[in-house]
Amino acid sequence: MMDVILIWLTPLNTPSDIVAVKDAHRALAELVADLPAGARAEYRIAVEDAAGTIIYQASLTFRGETAADIKARGVDGGSTK
């Protein structure tokens, strides 16, 4: 089972939606940066404007595999499910 983490961002003083989207991407990258080997997680992020309207959303599914995980799947790589 994977952890599912939902994040809502409300950009403050953001000059444009493009900057808010890039901030959301950076936030997702920071969340997976320190996960342990073999970690599995799903992250969902949404960005709201000042009025509370969602202007962007994204998700990231992370599935790390250790050498033991890869070996367990077999030489051909097997299924990732």
User: Is 81 part of a structural domain of the chain?
Assistant: no
Q: pTM, whole model, 2 decimals? A: 0.66
Residue 52 lies in a domain: yes
Q: Is residue 22, in this structure, part of any structural domain at all?
A: yes
Domain that holds residue 41: 3-73
Cα distance between residue 33 and residue 19, in whole Å: 21
3-state secondary structure of 74: coil
The tally of domains found in the chain comes to 1
Evaluate whether residue 34 is within a structural domain: yes
Per-residue model confidence as pLDDT tens digits over 8-37? 666 555 567 788 888 889 988 988 898 888
Domain membership of residue 80 (yes or no) is no
Phi, psi of 54 (to 5 degrees): -70, 120
Within 1-81, strands assigned E span 3-9, 40-48, 54-63
Q: CA-CA distance, 53 to 40, in Å (whole number)? A: 30
